[in-house]
Amino acid sequence: MLVFKKLNSLNVKIITHLKEKLWLKIFVGMLTGILTGILLGSDLSLVNRNVAQLTTSWLVMPGLIFINLLQMIMIPLICSSIILGICSAENIENVKKLGIGTLIYFVFTTFIAVTIGIALSLWLEPGKSTIQIKNTTVNSNIPSPTEIPTLDRYPELFMSFFPKNPFLSITQGEMLNVIVFSILLGIAILSISKDLSKPILEILNSVFQISMKIVNWAMALTPFAVFGLMSKAISSIGVELLITLGVYMSVVLLGLVSILGVYSIILIFLAKRNPIGFFSKIAGLQLLAFSTSSSAAVMPVSIQTATENLGVKKISRSLSFLSELRSIWTEPLFTKQSQQSS
């Protein structure tokens, strides 16, 4: 009888944690998704392949809806957040100080991330690992590496940051152009009188609150989204290929651990915060990023996590997501190594 009471108490604690901890829900969804993907995969051959594909196509639906919802709301959320953040600085001088500090931090952390990425890639060469199963090359159609612009192309590259038609940039999802337009619009609104800017700021605040409400609705799907996405990915790729990609996955994890170490040092010496407490508050966000592999989908959740879990002010929140851009730096090196090996 005592054993049953202890089990019941443990069950209640687990259910309570699952209700309160988003990261735990995501973790459980990820684990169950991996197990389901293995059971439905071709490695074990427990389920007919057509039946397995049909099953995973239904299981992945919450994940696709989740990503589409976040991508749908990303533009209005980010635009309103940037403009409100800049206008909350109250004057142009504060914006200049914030811009210079953000630029220095961005360049510094990006330089470290690039250095770690290049060092690990050149040292371990994950792109040269043979990705073959049963004599069939899986990654045979690798896209050509991005052409490095010459010195005379840099003015043209710089001018491309400024959109000729911001609405076209919005419809095409050109985030850098949208960000530049939003920053300029925020500075312009801050430069006019408060009587003139008050109506547009009230509208933008309403847009931001509405966007965050939709993000909250999407977050209710998170565990099911992660479960479906992982089930689909594992059943399609297969365990054997995952083992073959072990070198690449190990390099990625080693790089992530290195980055966590760098951010821990920044948190301790610059932000004067406990890294363990900080990372525990963003654990759900990190697991979501790992399972979806979509910066666009995670970006709205990043803003929500920063404001609700970390208590970041609007002025800091508006530029916090710029660190997402550094993720594209090390991709060409891996692509080049893969081409050399093939």
- Write down all domains in the chain, each with its CATH number in brackets: 73-224+240-341 (1.10.3860.10)
Average pLDDT over residues 35-54: 87
Instruction: Read off the pTM.
Output: 0.69
Q: How many CB atoms lie within 10 A of CB 219?
A: 20
More confident residue, 38 or 298: 38
How much is the pLDDT for 147?
59
How much is the pLDDT for 58?
94
Helix (H) or strand (E) holding 220: none
Cα distances (angstroms) measured from residue 234 to each of 38, 61, 284? 6, 15, 21
How much is the pLDDT for 205?
92
Q: Tell me the pLDDT of the chain averaged across its residues.
A: 77
Q: Is the pLDDT of residue 252 over 60?
A: yes
CA-based R_g, the chain, Å: 23
Average pLDDT over residues 148-167: 80
SS3 assignment for 4-70: HHHHHHHHHHHHHHHHHCHHHHHHHHHHHHHHHHHHHCCCCCCCCHHHHHHHHHHHCHHHHHHHHHH
pLDDT tens string 72-103: 898 898 888 888 888 887 788 888 887 787 77
CB within 8 A of 50, min separation 6: which ones? none
Q: Is the pLDDT of residue 55 over 80?
A: yes
Query: What stretches of the chain adopt beta strand conformation (E)?
Result: 132-133, 136-137
